[in-house]
Amino acid sequence: MMQVKSFVFSPFAENTYVLYDETNEAVVIDPGCLQQDEKEKLAKFIADNRLVVKYLLQTHCHLDHVFGSAFVKRKYGVKMYIHKGDLPVLAAVETRAPMWGIQGYEPVEADEFIEEGDVIYFGNSQLDVIYVPGHAPGHVAFVNHAQKLIVSGDVLFKGSIGRYDFPLCNYDDLMNSIYTKLLTLDDDYVVYPGHNDPTTIGQERPDDLRQPALRVCGYR
């Protein structure tokens, strides 16, 4: 049985996830820990639960999702997996961070590329990679069909969808991803988003099946 632990890190209130199961193997998804105490909080949870981190996975590489990626890579000796479409997004973080008033970002480089159809195995668990571009060009989500859960990054939120006004965003791609990749899942899939509380596919499915909630919030 896979467990989901979430943390809320940085001024962007970004959700960092640790997924693990009864074997104690784990993956870290989107480590947004920026300050030292946030990094220690993440490391303490991993140590207290005797977890063995196998992979560092990124839904996408916006700055708030990679603040702690260099730390996780170094601390656990793991590789960082991204979709290659987000290489320019990752490369831009070093210059964009100061524009957002962020100090202390440690640059990081991806090690491996993942794409739709790939499967991430750890312990007795698996995550299917789906490609959901729009909010970012190389945005992926991680789906566990056995337990009906999805780590969605910044594509779909509780009551809203991801921003599409940042550089390299594409509204049509975003809507296509939501309609063809997420809303095609069953209503009882639990969605663990990049910001705010979890939700379900059923809860976010628009009543008229045509237009999802379009409220757009900051810092996504």
Cβ of residue 94: shortest distance to Zn ion, in angstroms?
16
Cβ of residue 209: shortest distance to Zn ion, in angstroms?
26
Nearest residue (CB) to Zn ion, 2 versus 90:
90
By CB under 5 A, is residue 181 in contact with Zn ion?
Answer: no
- Looking at residue 59, its amino acid is T
Count of residues in contact with Zn ion, rule CB under 5 A: 2
Cβ of residue 60: shortest distance to Zn ion, in angstroms?
6
Which residues are CB-neighbours of 44 under 8 A, at least 6 positions away? Answer: none
Considering only residues 63 through 122, tell me which ones interact with Zn ion, judged by CB under 5 A: none
- Cβ(147)–Cβ(2) below 8 Å: yes
By CB under 5 A, is residue 39 in contact with Zn ion?
Answer: no
Instruction: Please choose, out of 58-66, 71-79, 105-113, 203-211, the segment that lies near Zn ion by the rule CB under 5 A.
Output: 58-66
By CB under 5 A, is residue 14 in contact with Zn ion?
Answer: no
Cβ of residue 157: shortest distance to Zn ion, in angstroms?
11
- Cβ(204)–Cβ(156) below 8 Å: yes
Nearest residue (CB) to Zn ion, 46 versus 114:
114
Tell me the helix, strand and coil percentages in the chain, rounded to 5: 25, 30, 45
Residue among 64, 61, 58 at smallest CA distance from 38: 64
Instruction: Please choose, out of 28-36, 55-63, 67-75, 113-121, the segment that lies near Zn ion by the rule CB under 5 A.
Output: 55-63
Task: Tell me which of 30, 154, 173, 204 binds Zn ion, using CB under 5 A.
Answer: 154
Q: How many CA atoms lie within 13 A of 161 on its CB side?
A: 27
How far apart are alpha carbons 123 and 82 in whole angstroms? Answer: 21
Retrieve residue 96's tokens: 């964009």
Task: Tell me which of 20, 46, 57, 62 binds Zn ion, using CB under 5 A.
Answer: 62
Retrieve residue 167's tokens: 């550089």
Binding residues for Zn ion, rule: CB under 5 A, are 62, 154
